[in-house]
């Protein structure tokens, strides 16, 4: 999911075989790699890209939900949603911090996001049209994210794994918050229940797409698995998500919009219908409902914040000079 | 009974101030000048919304008509909201938002300090928690007022513009009427006038460090406490109340 | 926009008195006061701490991972530094 952007990434780096083998032995022995350790350039590049994309997803992910903070239907919901969206910002921040240990700055990563060079999770290009979408995002999108993030807590790169541990600890309230919204709607009026079903209809397939292309179509999965940047394949995680989510939908009386969905006794898993990969690629490449608006919003915040950041730096410079002058005067 | 209705009015004014300002501040979430501020501003907004909730719950109880915090927050008409005009001002730029927040915090801090000794145990309890929260708001927003006031040419100009824009709204914070007089007399809350000196002290110390001069307001705007708001208020409430108005009686 | 980036600070939090400050991540801030604010707003939203340290990331001096073996392996063989190296009869009790 956060490796959607690795599509097309180069992972070969041209170090000699002995170096690569020695590195692989460390990985195989479950040793954590720390910032200054020698590492293959491909490993570093893959991580920068993946962590950067993960961070961007958190930041862009603030927008669809942020859209409803001012319209949340009760004070309790308003506070929870605000805290949740703030958390997403915090998670983006932890992740940028982790990427910065690899020698890339947050500014560089931000510029890559704004120029369209760096990707973010395709899901955030869909609109939040009703309050139920806030429930659906928490339940499905955060649910999918947790599936992906729990194994990342054991990722081979120490700072990424540590950031993920923190993220997972905090995220545990997000999915529950979303499910509780859905549950309340489903126990409410007909109009509320209809709203919940409509949100599930719209968010179900994009949520499955979050896990990325089928393993057979994913070029970089293998190397990332070997390096233990990834611990499960896209399809494994997607299946896990479907298996966990169906009973939750049934419990609140919602129907997953997939006529082919059925329990497969033999496999011990749910079978589900085909994902519309044309839609997936269209959204990844910029043609989703709100790709343009999401980047415009980030660009606007960045541009309009420039004078604030410059003022903070200018003031810091003045403080330093004044302190220096005071010190000289005191001597 | 007379006292009770004054207390309800007083609590609603206070609660509305916090809700409306928290609502305004939450509009920034996801759009701040830097990521660190995308965490800082919601922290302040959450404090304000938390204070509003405590005050609405208490007001509903005192009123005794069975109105919940959400009934009070979402289901009154515009003319029934009693917040001061400063808090409903559109956010403007970051300088404007920080200065507005700083003014409000500089006013609320001495208020809560005195309210901790209120004859009203409930209010004293709310004050004990709020006073710490608002002390941080003063610090955080005050530091930004200093940085923007004494930053670049552009930031100084923007901060000056914010000072000019907000100047007419400061006096309303200190307005007295029969309600505030009744509260002061009963030892429930400090009289607004008594908060002017500590407010000025806080403001002056930050402005001095920021090399800013507060312009004298040519006139003061007023009316919020009687439910006479700016045009911006109706749009704010349209957004705030959208769900509750569209689905009357539903649970969320 | 490499011209002027907002500096990075490492953040250390003391979870409660009696425990040491522990590294928990980093923040960007133009100066030390705002760095403490940012650390407070980012890393203590769930009551994680009672004290914060921030240090400019650039001020941290680290040992060289290439010298890991020469730095740290020599100490591993010095087993006599550990209490379990010494035999004390059980009757003597805890020592």
Neighbours of chain A (3+ CB pairs under 8 A): B, C
Chain B interface mutation, best of A78, A84, A184, highest count of B Cβ atoms under 10 Å: A78
Q: What is the pLDDT confidence band of residue C68, given thresholds at 50, 70 and 90?
A: confident
Taking only the tens place, the pLDDT of each residue in A102-115 is: 999 999 999 999 99
Q: Minimal Cα distance from B34: which residue of C?
A: C28
Are B45 and B29 in contact by the 8 Å Cβ rule? The answer is: yes
d(CA B68, CA B49): 15
**Contacts across the A-C interface (CB distance below 8 Å):** 50
Domain that holds residue A189: 2-288
Q: Minimal Cα distance from C32: which residue of B?
A: B143
Q: Which domains does chain C have, with CATH numbers?
A: 8-63 (3.10.20.520)
pLDDT of C5 strictly over 70: yes
What is the total count of domains within chain A? 1
Residue from C38, C44, A79 nearest B22 by CA: A79
C33 interaction partners in chain B (CB closer than 8 Å)? 143
Please state which of the ranges A48-62, A167-181, B87-101 shows the lowest mean pLDDT.
A167-181
Chain C interface mutation, best of B34, B37, B38, B46, highest count of C Cβ atoms under 10 Å: B34
d(CA A131, CA A70): 11
Query: Taking CB atoms and an 8 Å limit, are A79 and B243 in contact across chains?
Result: no
* Percentage of residues in chain B having pLDDT higher than 70: 99
B43 interaction partners in chain C (CB closer than 8 Å)? 41, 45
C41 interaction partners in chain B (CB closer than 8 Å)? 36, 39-40, 43, 140
Taking only the tens place, the pLDDT of each residue in A224-265 is: 999 999 889 999 999 999 999 999 999 999 999 999 999 999
Are B138 and B106 in contact by the 8 Å Cβ rule? The answer is: yes
Neighbours of chain B (3+ CB pairs under 8 A): A, C
What is the pLDDT, as a whole number, of residue A222?
83
d(CA A321, CA A83): 38
Query: Taking CB atoms and an 8 Å limit, are A192 and B35 in contact across chains?
Result: no
B139 interfaces chain C, CB cutoff of 8 Å: yes
C10 interfaces chain A, CB cutoff of 8 Å: no
B56 interfaces chain A, CB cutoff of 8 Å: yes
B140 interaction partners in chain C (CB closer than 8 Å)? 37, 41
Start-end of H helices in A101-209: 106-115, 131-136, 142-152, 158-186, 190-209
Query: Averaged over A129-156, what is the pLDDT?
Result: 96
Are C26 and C57 in contact by the 8 Å Cβ rule? The answer is: yes
Q: Bridge-partner residues for C23, per DSSP?
A: C12
What is the pLDDT, as a whole number, of residue C1?
38
Phi, psi of A219 (to 5 degrees): -80, -30
Query: Averaged over B163-182, what is the pLDDT?
Result: 97
| B 230-249 residues with CB < 8 A to A | 239-240, 242-244, 247
What is the pLDDT, as a whole number, of residue C2?
43
pLDDT of A279 strictly over 90: yes
Determine the Cα angle at B27 with ends B31 and A121, to 5°. Answer: 45
B146 interaction partners in chain A (CB closer than 8 Å)? 315
A188 interaction partners in chain B (CB closer than 8 Å)? 250-251
d(CA A289, CA A283): 8
DSSP, collapsed to helix, strand or coil, labels residue C54 as: strand
Start-end of H helices in B150-216: 153-170, 178-185, 196-210
Query: Taking CB atoms and an 8 Å limit, are C37 and B143 in contact across chains?
Result: yes
Dihedral of alpha carbons A22, A28, A29, A35, sign: positive
pTM (predicted TM-score): 0.94
Reported ipTM: the value is 0.96
C29 interaction partners in chain A (CB closer than 8 Å)? 312
Q: How far is B210 from chain C (nearest CA, A)?
A: 15
pLDDT of B85 strictly over 60: yes
Query: Taking CB atoms and an 8 Å limit, are B34 and C37 in contact across chains?
Result: no
Residue from B42, C44, B23, C37 nearest A83 by CA: B42
What is the pLDDT, as a whole number, of residue B14?
98
Query: Averaged over A113-142, what is the pLDDT?
Result: 97
**H or E, element range at B112:** helix B94-115
B143 interfaces chain C, CB cutoff of 8 Å: yes
Q: What is the pLDDT confidence band of residue C66, given thresholds at 50, 70 and 90?
A: confident
* Percentage of residues in chain B having pLDDT higher than 90: 96
Q: What is the pLDDT confidence band of residue A186, given thresholds at 50, 70 and 90?
A: very high
Please name the residue that has the structure tokens 């805890």. Answer: C94
Neighbours of chain C (3+ CB pairs under 8 A): A, B
Query: Averaged over B62-77, what is the pLDDT?
Result: 97
**H or E, element range at A301:** helix A291-330
Residue B35, judged by CB atoms within 10 A of its CB (0-12, 13-18, 19+), counts as buried
Rounded to a whole number, what is the largest CA-CA distance in chain B? 56
Q: Bridge-partner residues for C53, per DSSP?
A: C12
Query: Averaged over C34-49, what is the pLDDT?
Result: 96
A167: domain CATH number?
1.20.1260.10
pLDDT of B218 strictly over 90: no
* Within-domain flag for A324: no
Q: Which domains does chain B have, with CATH numbers?
A: 2-212+221-246 (1.20.1260.10)
Residue from B200, B102, B91, B207 nearest B149 by CA: B207
């Amino acid at each position: 999911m956060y490796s959607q952007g690795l599509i097309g990434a180069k992972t070969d780096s041209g170090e000699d075989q002995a170096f690569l083998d020695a590195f692989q032995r460390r990985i195989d022995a479950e040793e954590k790699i720390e910032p200054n350790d020698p590492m293959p350039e491909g490993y570093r590049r893959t991580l920068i890209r993946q962590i950067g994309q993960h961070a961007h997803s958190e930041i862009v992910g603030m927008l669809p939900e942020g859209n409803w903070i001012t319209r949340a239907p009760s004070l309790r919901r308003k506070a929870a949603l605000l805290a949740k969206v703030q958390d997403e910002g915090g998670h983006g921040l932890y992740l940028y911090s982790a990427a910065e240990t690899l020698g890339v700055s947050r500014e560089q990563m931000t510029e890559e996001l704004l120029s369209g060079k760096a990707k973010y999770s395709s899901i955030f290009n869909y609109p939040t049209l009703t309050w139920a979408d806030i429930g659906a995002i928490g339940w499905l999108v955060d649910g999918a994210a947790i599936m992906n993030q729990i194994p990342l807590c054991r990722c081979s790169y120490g700072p990424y794994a540590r950031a993920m541990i923190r993220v997972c600890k905090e995220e545990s309230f997000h999915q529950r918050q979303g499910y509780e919204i859905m549950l309340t709607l489903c126990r409410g009026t007909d109009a509320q229940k209809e709203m919940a079903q409509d949100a599930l209809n719209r968010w179900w397939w994009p949520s499955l797409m979050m896990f990325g292309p089928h393993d057979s179509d994913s070029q970089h999965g293998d190397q990332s698995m070997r390096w233990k940047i990834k611990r499960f394949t896209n399809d494994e995680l997607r299946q896990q998500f479907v298996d966990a989510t169906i009973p939750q939908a049934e419990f609140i009386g919602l129907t997953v919009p997939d006529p082919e969905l059925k329990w497969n006794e033999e496999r011990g898993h749910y079978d589900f219908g085909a994902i519309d990969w044309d839609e997936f690629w269209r959204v990844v490449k910029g043609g989703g409902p709100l790709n343009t608006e999401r980047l415009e919003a980030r660009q606007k915040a960045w541009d309009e914040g420039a004078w604030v950041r410059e003022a903070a730096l200018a003031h810091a410079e003045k403080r330093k000079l004044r302190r220096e002058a005071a010190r000289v005067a005191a001597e | 009974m007379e006292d009770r209705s004054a207390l309800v009015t007083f609590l609603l004014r206070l609660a509305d101030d916090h809700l409306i300002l928290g609502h305004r501040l939450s509009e920034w979430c996801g759009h701040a000048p830097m990521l660190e501020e995308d965490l800082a501003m919601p922290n302040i907004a959450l404090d304000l919304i938390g204070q509003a909730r405590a005050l609405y719950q208490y007001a509903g109880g005192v009123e005794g008509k069975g109105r919940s915090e959400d009934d009070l927050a979402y289901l009154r008409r515009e003319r029934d909201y009693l917040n001061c005009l400063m808090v409903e001002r559109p956010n403007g730029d970051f300088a404007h938002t920080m200065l507005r927040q700083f003014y409000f915090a500089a006013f609320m801090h001495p208020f809560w300090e005195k309210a901790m000794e209120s004859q009203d145990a409930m209010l004293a309890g709310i004050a004990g928690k709020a006073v710490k929260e608002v002390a941080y708001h003063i610090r955080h927003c005050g530091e930004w007022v200093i940085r923007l006031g004494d930053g670049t040419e552009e930031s100084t100009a923007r901060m000056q513009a914010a000072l000019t824009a907000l100047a007419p709204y400061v006096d309303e914070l200190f307005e007295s009427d029969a309600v505030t007089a009744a509260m002061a007399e009963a030892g429930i809350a400090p009289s607004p006038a008594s908060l002017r000196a500590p407010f000025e002290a806080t403001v002056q110390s930050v402005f001095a460090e920021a090399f800013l001069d507060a312009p004298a307001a040519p006139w003061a705007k007023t009316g919020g406490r009687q439910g006479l708001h700016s045009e911006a208020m109706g749009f704010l409430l349209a957004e705030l109340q959208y769900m509750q108005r569209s689905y009357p009686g539903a649970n969320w | 926009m490499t011209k002027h980036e907002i500096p990075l600070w490492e953040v250390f939090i003391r979870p409660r008195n009696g425990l040491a400050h522990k590294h928990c991540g980093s923040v960007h801030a133009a100066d030390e006061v705002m760095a403490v604010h940012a650390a407070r707003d980012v890393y203590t939203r769930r009551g994680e701490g009672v004290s914060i340290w921030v240090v400019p990331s650039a001020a941290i001096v680290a040992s060289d991972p290439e010298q890991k073996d020469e730095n740290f392996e020599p100490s591993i063989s010095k087993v006599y530094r550990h209490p379990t190296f010494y035999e004390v009869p059980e009757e003597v009790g805890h020592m």
